[in-house]
Amino acid sequence: MSKRILINLSIIAAVSSFAIGATIAYFSDTEVSAGNTFSSGTLDLEMDTGNPATSTVFILSDVKPGDSGSATIKLRNTGTLPKPGGPPWTSKVYITFENLVDNDVSCPEPEGEIDGTCGSGKVGELSQNLNIRVRDYWGENCTGTPRFDEEHTLADWVSKSKTFLNDDMPSGDVNCIVIDWSVPTSTGNIIQSDKATFDIKFTLEQTEPWQ
């Protein structure tokens, strides 16, 4: 075997020996971060109507032009989010009037004289003549200047769908909602025997800090 071939074989053997040694000779160390956990927070809205037995706010009968009244609702965020004192604009509260059913119920003579479509199963006019004012106060005492204050007919509230009330309700916060109602004295006989049923829905939504 020539001297050149022997030199080449020596180089190959040296490289092979280095490659094998490289797989076992370096220092090593291992650290483990154990028990990593993500737990979701909660956004939970509770409504207090003042009557623990029911969530119904209004059950009124024999309503007539000139009548009025009021109800108070307390909203509380019983969840863990948003954190008190955290970034602003992290939750928004909405009110929705929905599932309206206007029923003419019957057609007494005074109503029939001005309403050609009155009677059982017909659509009544009470929601168009029932004014609803909604006010939203900071805290649970309903004092000071409301941060939201609007008045519309019930029919108009329903057509508005979801209505924004406020944008700050952290965990543990309580809002006071006052709902006033009235029937104008100018309404007249068009609402005789009419009945309006509807739902009031409050929604608490998470938002991005910059919204």
Average pLDDT over residues 163-185: 93
Average pLDDT over residues 53-79: 94
Residues with Cβ < 8 Å from 84, sequence gap 6 or more?
Answer: 170, 171, 172, 173
pTM score of the predicted model: 0.82
User: Could you tell me the pLDDT band of residue 13, with boundaries at 50, 70 and 90?
Assistant: very low
Closest CA to 166 of 199, 210, 134, 136: 136
Q: At 95, list the tokens.
A: 């009110």
Average pLDDT over residues 41-55: 90
- pLDDT tops 60 at residue 162: yes
Tell which wins on pLDDT, 41 or 145.
145
| Per-residue pLDDT, 82 | 86
Highest mean pLDDT among 63-67, 90-94, 205-209: 63-67
Mean pLDDT (the chain) is: 86
- pLDDT tops 50 at residue 166: yes
Tell which wins on pLDDT, 132 or 138.
132
Average pLDDT over residues 143-155: 96
Tell which wins on pLDDT, 131 or 20.
131
How far is Cα 49 from Cα 73, in angstroms, rounded to an integer?
Answer: 5
- pLDDT tops 50 at residue 41: yes
Starting at the edge strand found earlier in the chain, the sheet holding 68-77 runs 45-48, 68-77, 174-182, 131-138, 148-153
- pLDDT tops 60 at residue 20: no
Instruction: Break the chain into its structural domains and give their ranges.
Output: 45-206
| Per-residue pLDDT, 101 | 94
